[in-house]
Chains A and B, each alone.
Chain A
Amino acid sequence: SAVISQKPSRDICQRGTSLTIQCQVDSQVTMMFWYRQQPGQSLTLIATANQGSEATYESGFVIDKFPISRPNLTFSTLTVSNMSPEDSSIYLCSLGTSVGTDTQYFGPGTRLTVL
């Protein structure tokens, strides 16, 4: 399976600031996904990022709060804007593959704490 890396692995940020999380894949993939894993909650899809088109956001998530870029087939970024303590979470990117299985593989995650 593809190797997925995320930067930063963790960060502590102040309320009101923004953080951009990077996701790098070692092979070209059409679709990448961004999920959030809040403490005690299910992993939840934020948005789907296709290269060359606008990201598609799930209900409850908006572009102004979580802008996403997908400049090429191996890279994506998620920005968490104007952060509040409620944004403290693990943010994960994933990619879909139909080779061998038909499912998604996840990066290591970015652990964000907002003070």
Chain B
Amino acid sequence: QKEVEQDPGPLSVPEGAIVSLNCTYSNSAFQYFMWYRQYSRKGPELLMYTYSSGNKEDGRFTAQVDKSSKYISLFIRDSQPSDSATYLCAMSAGDTGANSKLTFGKGITLSVRP
């Protein structure tokens, strides 16, 4: 079993839809959780960052972490064509998220149709 599993996709939705992206993990030591967005031929860009369990909202994006279920989600409201990208979940079990190994899911490619 991989440490981090991510829905494989691809995912195609109409503009304005609510998108739910999910990852599950097996390592209970993970305590830093991130979502990165990666456009084609670009490096991953940090989208959301959460420490431990709970919700975090930033504009149209909401990140949820449920450590009891080992499950994290990213919700995108009012999706836009510019949201079309690959979304990667990442996690860290170290003392800090900055200076520890990140373990990634495989990523899911989202396409938002105008």
List the interface of chain A (C-beta within 8 A of B): 1, 4, 30-31, 33, 35, 40-45, 48, 58, 92, 94, 96-98, 101-109, 111
B101 A98 Cβ-Cβ under 8 A: no
- Chain B residues with CB below 8 A from A4, complex form: 43
A110 to chain B, nearest CB (A): 10
CB proximity of B47 to chain A, nearest CB, Å? 11
Cβ-defined partner of B4 (8 Å) among A40, A42, A103: A42
Q: Which 7 A-B pairs have the closest CB atoms?
A: A96-B98, A106-B43, A43-B104, A102-B97, A103-B97, A42-B104, A108-B43
The answer on a CB contact under 8 Å between A101 and B49 is yes
Check B101–A42 contact: CB distance below 8 A: no
| B75 CB–A CB distance under 8 Å | no
In the complex, besides A31-B98, A96-B97, 17 extra interface pairs with C-beta distance below 8 angstroms are A35-B102, A40-B106, A42-B4, A42-B105, A43-B102, A92-B44, A97-B98, A98-B96, A101-B46, A103-B34, A103-B49, A103-B92, A103-B102, A104-B97, A106-B44, A106-B45, A111-B41
B88 CB within 8 Å of chain A: yes
Report whether A107 and B43 are in contact in the complex, using a CB–CB cutoff of 8 Å: yes
> Once bound together, how far apart are the Cα atoms of A97 and B103, in whole Å?
17
B32 interface residue per 8 A CB criterion: yes
**Contact pattern, B 31-68, Cβ under 8 Å of A = 1, otherwise 0:** 01010100001111110010100000000000000000
